[in-house]
Amino acid sequence: MDLDPIALARIQFAFTVSFHIIFPAFTIGLASYLAVLEGLWLATRRQVFLTLYKFWLPVFAVAFAMGVVSGLVMSYQFGTNWGPFAEMTAPVLGPLLAYEVLTAFFLEAGFLGVMLFGMGRVGEKLHFTATALVAIGTLISAFWILSANSWMQTPAAFHIDADGRFAPDSWIGVIFNPSFPYRFAHMTMAAYLATAFLVGAAGAWRLLKDKTSAPGKVMFAMAALMAMTAAPLQLVIGDLHGLNTQEHQPAKLAAMEGHFETREGAPFYVVGWPDQEAGEMQAAIAIPKLGSLILHHSLNAEVTGLDSIAQEDWPNVPFVFWSFRVMVGLGMLMILYGLCALVLGLRKKLFEARWLQGWAVAMAPSGLIAILAGWFVTEAGRQPYVVYGLMRTDEAASPIGAPGVAGSLLAFVVVYLTVFVAGAFYMIRLAVRDPEGVTGKRELKKGPIRSAGVEPGPAQKGGEQGGAG
């Protein structure tokens, strides 16, 4: 079999960036959650908030470390595998990434040590400041990297300079390119929602073990509140983001909807198999006219299909179509979950419905899966371009032969899977502990130098048994 080096390089990039995005998404949400918990502890002095802060801190440390090391890989991979892309886009994207490092990464890294190990070494307020700065750092980082990604989706405020590179005309125009505000809102909200469902699952797990657990109730209720409010809000933001895509990236939107033909009163395909070769939707369950209603807010409006675009410029339609359905389907499940929690909450039975707790545990990875599916939609939907409409992906790759890329891809897969399995295992084991059991003497004997003692030995096993039950 002849391996295509560009296809391999794309698989490598997709694999490494998919692995990476899980951890920043989780740490964006968790850093803000920790800042809220510590703020609530300082404001109310209710022990449960401090208990929960200490409970989530080691999980945050593991997730953050995995995000840092996989992010380092990303900062070099443009150069190793996508040299021509790097050279063409450097005048525009270089400064955005440089600002991400200068304004976000150093801030996070500088105060992370204080946040993880500084309790007891610095004052309470200063410690809270460190937590808040780390949380702000994660958001600043998201701001810059999403700006850079959005520019690749909807390039703006540039000209082609004498060297054939994209050169910026206005930094405001570059940074706040047309899709950026929507993407930033959508991704930040997604990170918060994904974290809420992970926290909610940990709370539900605790409640299933012990109905009276106060930290379990607090986590479960806070997560339910997020599901009630943020999940419907995300639907609205997503809709606006979709309308923006319709305006700027019609091929992507048509692939998301599975619309091959341009027509008035277009249906909405709930499911179906988009046949890329034949250019038609097969085995579809369709709701008439709903497509026009969603996209133009009018029953008989004309919807642009892929037939208006040359076939060589189409993305992989089935992949985009199905990734979109996974994302939206999970979003709908989250909204439904929020509604159920709302009804139960109004009847004062939020903590009694065991089925809701079971559902919450099952929903634990839902947000992270939805984030991955969403990124599949937006990145695969931009193909065959790396810079939409301007630079094709196959013109962007470095001249590295297939055996070289295959070798590095194999190495990435082996190392990342090892690290992922171990990291996920440790995080889950930390998340199923009893928060109250671990803030006592036992917790103090654990971890690096996060708190008093440094003898992780026997205490570790105790924690494990206590947690997993």
Partner 1 sequence: MAFDLPTIWAVLICVALTAYVVLDGFDLGIGVLFWFGKDRKERDTMMNTVAPVWDGNETWLILGGGGLFAAFPLAYSVLLTAFYAPLIAMLLALVLRGVAFEFRFRTERWKPYWSAAFFGGSTVAAFCQGVMVGAFVQGVEVQDGVYAGGWFDWLTPFTLVTGLALVAGYALLGAGWLVIKTSGDIHARMAKLRIPLGIAAIVLLGGVSLGTLYQDADIAARWFGGGFYILLWAIPALTGLAAIGWLATAWRGMEVTPFLCSLVMFALAMAGLAASLYPNLIPPDISYREAANADGSLAFMLVGALVLLPVILGYTAYAYWIFRGKVDPEHGYH
Interface residues for partner 1 in 118-137 (CB under 8 A)? 118, 120-122
> Binding partner 1 by CB under 8 A: which of 304, 408, 432, 433?
408
Nearer to partner 1, 134 or 199 (CB): 134
32: which 2 tokens? 């803000």
How many whole angstroms separate alpha carbon 274 and alpha carbon 259? 9
Q: How far is the CB of 120 from partner 1 (least distance, A)?
A: 5
CA angle, 243 then 249 then 253, to 5°: 60
> Binding partner 1 by CB under 8 A: which of 6, 28, 52, 112?
112
Nearer to partner 1, 112 or 320 (CB): 112
- Based on the shown chain and the rule CB under 8 A, indicate whether residue 288 belongs to the binding site for partner 1: no
Contact residues for 360 (Cβ-Cβ < 8 A; gap 6+): 197, 200, 201, 203, 204, 220, 223, 337
123: which 2 tokens? 């004052």
Nearer to partner 1, 36 or 90 (CB): 90
Nearer to partner 1, 91 or 318 (CB): 91
- Based on the shown chain and the rule CB under 8 A, indicate whether residue 62 belongs to the binding site for partner 1: yes
> Binding partner 1 by CB under 8 A: which of 13, 49, 55, 78?
78
- Based on the shown chain and the rule CB under 8 A, indicate whether residue 426 belongs to the binding site for partner 1: yes
Nearer to partner 1, 84 or 232 (CB): 84
- Based on the shown chain and the rule CB under 8 A, indicate whether residue 158 belongs to the binding site for partner 1: no
CA-wise closest residue to 92 among 387, 404, 434: 387
Which range binds partner 1 by CB under 8 A, 28-36, 112-120, 257-265, 307-315?
A: 112-120
Q: What is the x/- site pattern for partner 1, positions 372-401, by CB under 8 A?
A: --------------------------xxxx
Residue 399: phi and psi, rounded to 5, are -80, 70
- Based on the shown chain and the rule CB under 8 A, indicate whether residue 206 belongs to the binding site for partner 1: no
> Binding partner 1 by CB under 8 A: which of 5, 71, 242, 435?
71
For residue 101, how many other CB atoms are within 10 A of its CB? 12
- Based on the shown chain and the rule CB under 8 A, indicate whether residue 164 belongs to the binding site for partner 1: no
Q: How far is CA 208 from CA 201, 220, 311, 361, 415, in A?
A: 10, 11, 53, 10, 35
42: which 2 tokens? 């300082």
Residue 130 forms beta bridges with which residues?
A: none
- Based on the shown chain and the rule CB under 8 A, indicate whether residue 443 belongs to the binding site for partner 1: no
How many whole angstroms separate alpha carbon 291 and alpha carbon 305? 11
- Based on the shown chain and the rule CB under 8 A, indicate whether residue 321 belongs to the binding site for partner 1: no
Q: How far is the CB of 167 from partner 1 (least distance, A)?
A: 5
**Residues in 266-285 that interact with partner 1 by CB under 8 A:** none
> Binding partner 1 by CB under 8 A: which of 3, 4, 72, 308?
72
How many whole angstroms separate alpha carbon 269 and alpha carbon 275? 13
CB 434 within 8 A of CB 440: no
CA-wise closest residue to 388 among 194, 251, 200: 251
- Based on the shown chain and the rule CB under 8 A, indicate whether residue 324 belongs to the binding site for partner 1: no
SS3 74: helix
Nearer to partner 1, 114 or 320 (CB): 114
For residue 271, how many other CB atoms are within 10 A of its CB? 13
- Based on the shown chain and the rule CB under 8 A, indicate whether residue 106 belongs to the binding site for partner 1: yes
Instruction: Work out whether strand 268-275 and strand 280-287 pair parallel, antiparallel, or are unpaired.
Output: antiparallel
CB 167 within 8 A of CB 92: yes
Crossing angle of helices 402-431 and 47-81, rounded to 10°: 180
- Based on the shown chain and the rule CB under 8 A, indicate whether residue 410 belongs to the binding site for partner 1: no
Which range binds partner 1 by CB under 8 A, 102-110, 237-245, 375-383, 435-443?
A: 102-110
Which range binds partner 1 by CB under 8 A, 49-57, 74-82, 349-357, 363-371?
A: 74-82
Nearer to partner 1, 198 or 224 (CB): 198
Residue 122: phi and psi, rounded to 5, are -125, 165
